[in-house]
Amino acid sequence: MCPVCLRPQSACICALAQPVLAATQVLILQHPLERQEAKGTARLLHLCLPGSRLEVGEAFDPQQLQQWLYDAWPGAEAAQQTLLLYPQTPDQPAALSALTECDAPVSVRRLVLLDGTWRKSRKMLYANPLLAQLPRLALTDTGPAGYRIRKAPRAGQLSTLEAGALALQALEGWAQDAPPLQALQQSFAGLIAQHERLRPAH
């Protein structure tokens, strides 16, 4: 096992990660069932973002979660604004509608990503009221055309890395050809290529 990415050495993804500098602090909350998911992308995103944080669980201790959401981390200031990347749901009418409301200058912004299938992330949301009440960033209709890597690990759903890249692009104001965005895209493409390579032949 590789001690950094927790994968078998033959499938180590550490070399695929291209470091990306982003002002937005990223907190990835991974559902326990995703940890061993060979096609998962959260770990790679975490490796690409040197200041990011990845925590595993479904129902978190509220005090602990509160700290992860708002307090200073080692090497990172306390957040002035914390957003959850999650679609709008009818039961949360107070959620931020879209990026427009994130335009206000905020010097320290934190973005929370839930790593799991829709069902698992919904469970995480309901199990953690602190997450449910966060202002949301929804990607619907805001994703720039053309940036959707075709071979998504799960059909009909963006991978965590892709969704995170789109959210960061919006929050950081990256152009389509911005080097950090390209670095994330290349890291993801490398992961897809590795899956293809390692997939047993039929």
Applying CB under 5 A, the residues found at the interface with Zn ion are 2, 4-5, 12, 14
Cβ–Cβ < 8 Å for 188, 165: yes
Helical segments of 49-178, H only: 62-70, 118-127, 129-132, 160-172
Strand spans (E) along the chain: 25-30, 53-56, 81-85, 109-115, 136-137
Q: Which is nearer to Zn ion, 12 or 98 (CB)?
A: 12
For the bound state, the minimum distance from the C-beta of residue 13 to Zn ion, rounded and expressed in Å, comes to 6
For the bound state, the minimum distance from the C-beta of residue 17 to Zn ion, rounded and expressed in Å, comes to 9
Q: Which is nearer to Zn ion, 37 or 172 (CB)?
A: 37
Longest dimension (CA), the chain: 53
Q: Which is nearer to Zn ion, 17 or 131 (CB)?
A: 17
Question: What is the rounded distance in angstroms from the CA atom of residue 157 to the CA atom of residue 86?
Answer: 12
For the bound state, the minimum distance from the C-beta of residue 193 to Zn ion, rounded and expressed in Å, comes to 16
Q: Which is nearer to Zn ion, 12 or 132 (CB)?
A: 12
Taking residue 21's Cβ as centre, other Cβ atoms within 10 Å add up to 11
For the bound state, the minimum distance from the C-beta of residue 192 to Zn ion, rounded and expressed in Å, comes to 17
